Structure 1
Amino acid sequence: MKNKMLYFIICSLGLAYFTGCKKSEYLTDGGLSVGKTPLTTYDYLKQHKYHLFDTLVMVIDHYNMKEEVNGAATFFAPTNYSINSYLKIKRDSVRRIDENNNYNLTDMYKDISADSLRIYISKSRITLMTAPLQATIVNNAANTQTAFQRILQPKPAESWSSAPIYYLYYIKVRGALDPPNVVAQPNDPNVDLKAQCQTTDIEPSSGGMLHVLSNNHTFIRF
């Protein structure tokens, strides 16, 4: 009986130690995340461990834009989901004409130019916390109208932190820049289109800034 009791005590102490270590590791703060990467912008996209940019890299390669992307002051990267969303819209469109029709990357290359990708290359260095609270025009490499903005998010009721939460938005300007605090009418063809960034302030070794647009963004169409 004594041996069994001793065995039980040893096992209990071991379990308590293991649990305590796991808890300690969980509670240990690793500090602020580091946005710097030793990879260039292009290599970061190409080597992403979840392959989130494989289709984007194919588009960059097709237009021989590797150096342009690496040299961008800021690059707003659309994900595979964004490009696939565009392809689906086009595919559905041609299939309304003939259900056997298809639309793929090869077809897309015939319909768009390299400037379609240059829309996402900003000529200014943009970071989340230095972005203005009002939408502000920023020049892009395609010489079309785009803007950017930092927007304060509503705080959830169960939030444990008092720190403000901001999201960075990249904006496709249609016509003139929308006035602040004006509610756009539904289906207004002139309303600006906003794309939220899901990841911000990645600093590649090639210089500039890299932001990742939300998966809900639709390539070119916003």
Structure 2
Amino acid sequence: MITIVIASCKKDNYIVGGQLENTTTTLTTYDYLKSNRYQLFDTLLMVIDKAGLKDAINKQGITFYAPTDFSIKNYLQKKTLEAQKVNPFAQYSIDTLMKYDLGKFKDSLNAYIIPAAVKYSLLTQNGVIFNTAKTGSKAVISYEETFDPNLGYTSAVSTAPRIEYYNFIKGQLPAVVVASAIPDTVGVRVLCQTTGLTTATGQLNVLNNTHVLYFKQ
């Protein structure tokens, strides 16, 4: 495991493939996200408040894989491009999401919640299957060695660092699951850029800034 220091709030420069220096907090999951000094979750929490889902991410014993505000921005950009195929002047904004898409948000947020404490000790290189809080959906969560220098590997260490991936499953899993080999038609694989935080109410991990809300491809 490695620790990468927070340098700025740029899209690709928050925390990648690492573990927090301080892995426990007395704050609830909601309050910890709200206290983020880079305000990476302000839009997320605004929509959570509007949808009345604060208690859902603060439920005791769950693990929340939090998307950042960049994930919401990525989603809005994709929806705008889709709308502009019909109307070149169309814009899909956060106001549009809250007016027309809040029901979907309420349901889909559950795909980011595992109703159990996901600890490193439970995970494997090939991944473990978990039920999500979204009815009928599953995720494969893996804890994989990396030899990518961009994810913290260096030849100066004798043991390769490990990083966590969250793979939301949309299709039929094969009989033998290898997380890194799950095709795009079956699952959406997302790097966790921050992992292993224990809050006053549960576990908290943060998905990579390149993720698109609702696991939209």
TM range, smaller chain: 0.7 to 0.9
Structure with more relative contact order (C-alpha pairs < 8 Å, separation 6 or more): 2
Q: Which residue in the other structure is 1:35 paired with?
A: 23
Within 2, Cα distance between the matches of 1:214 and 1:182?
17
Amino acid at match of 1:80: D
Shift of 1:158: 4.8
Within 2, Cα distance between the matches of 1:203 and 1:159?
30
Within 2, Cα distance between the matches of 1:183 and 1:142?
23
Q: CA RMSD in A?
A: 2.3
- SS of residue matched to 2:120: coil
Scaled by the length of structure 1, the TM-score of the pair is 0.76
Say if 1:35 and 1:201, in contact at 8 Å, map to a contact too.
Answer: yes
Amino acid at match of 1:217: H
Within the candidate set 2, 23, 44, 1:56 is matched to: 44
Name the larger-Rg structure.
1
Within the candidate set 141, 145, 168, 1:148 is matched to: 141
List per-residue Cα deviations over 1:149-185 (Å, max 9, x = no partner). 1111116585211122111111111222244459869
Q: Which residue in the other structure is 1:99 paired with?
A: 88
1:65 has 2:53 as partner: yes
Scaled by the length of structure 2, the TM-score of the pair is 0.78
Within 2, Cα distance between the matches of 1:182 and 1:42?
29
Cα pair distance change 1:202/1:183, threshold 3 Å: closer
Segments of structure 2 that go 5 or more residues without pairing to the other structure are: 1-19
Shift of 1:141: 1.2
List per-residue Cα deviations over 1:37-57 (Å, max 9, x = no partner). 121100111111000111110
Q: How many residues align?
A: 188
1:191 has 2:180 as partner: no
Within 1, Cα distance between the matches of 2:43 and 2:37?
14
Within 1, Cα distance between the matches of 2:213 and 2:31?
21
1:162 has 2:158 as partner: yes
Within 1, Cα distance between the matches of 2:124 and 2:154?
28
Shift of 1:35: 0.6
Segments of structure 1 that go 5 or more residues without pairing to the other structure are: 1-31
Within 2, Cα distance between the matches of 1:51 and 1:189?
31
Sequence identity percentage: 32
1:84 has 2:87 as partner: no
